[in-house]
Amino acid sequence: MTKHQLFHTSYTTIEQPDIKYGRKNADFGQGFYLSDDIEFSKRWAYDKNIYINEYELDDESLKIKYFNRDKDWFNYIFSNRNGHEDIYSEYDLIVGPVANDILYNTYGILTSGVFDDDKCFELLSIGPTYKQIVIKSNKALEQLKYMTVHIQKEEDIKKYRSIVQKEEENYQILLAKSLSL
């Protein structure tokens, strides 16, 4: 049995997640997005009354698709963000890096024809790697157990917003360097 502690940031307590609630054009398509890093989850708190929902997932019986920052990952995200049919719909769980387009919609730039696929892949790969875990099936949802909720304090929200702001500034610098080459 492989159990994982996972987190989801929200404006409410979510004891019974819904995989059909989220956007279809997110990185890994429609599903319930989680992180195994509570520090990363805290960065998503933008306002007062933010809840970090904590879960336990037993993934032993699940069909899992793992991604690294590579062309398959890039193509999957590109397909999902453009509203195409989910090519990995037979998987219960998708695990892989978050696309690092913190400030700019790199895919919007791609579809405008400004950059080719290779350049967009390079831009999405700038900066730190954060992992996202997406529940894609009811079978996986049944293996997700709600544990508790952590309410973000205002001082913590400010602290993590400062961290995100610094990351965004670093991203801008790295992006500018990449574009000037």
Contacts of 173 (CB under 8 A, 6+ apart): none
- Give the span between the Cα atoms of 101 and 5, in whole angstroms: 26
Is 116 a residue whose pLDDT tops 60? yes
Q: Which of 109, 43, 118, 113 is nearest to 81 (CA)?
A: 109
- What per-residue confidence (pLDDT) applies to 109? 62
From residue 42, alpha-carbon distances to 76, 124, 125, 169, 173 in Å are: 26, 22, 22, 19, 24
Is 165 a residue whose pLDDT tops 70? yes
Number of domains in the chain: 1
Q: Which residue has the higher pLDDT, 103 or 175?
A: 175
- Give the span between the Cα atoms of 119 and 139, in whole angstroms: 37
For the stretch 82-114, pLDDT in tens is 888 899 999 999 999 987 665 445 556 656 667
From residue 93, alpha-carbon distances to 60, 64, 106, 142 in Å are: 11, 5, 25, 12
pTM of the model: 0.84
pLDDT mean across residues, the chain: 85
**Amino acid at residue number 8:** H
Considering only 39-53, 65-79, 80-94, 144-158, which range has the smallest mean pLDDT?
39-53
Structural domain for 172, as ranges: 3-180
Is 58 a residue whose pLDDT tops 80? yes
Write out the H or E segment, with its range, that includes residue 173: helix 154-180
On whether the CB atoms of residues 130 and 35 are closer than 8 A, the answer is yes
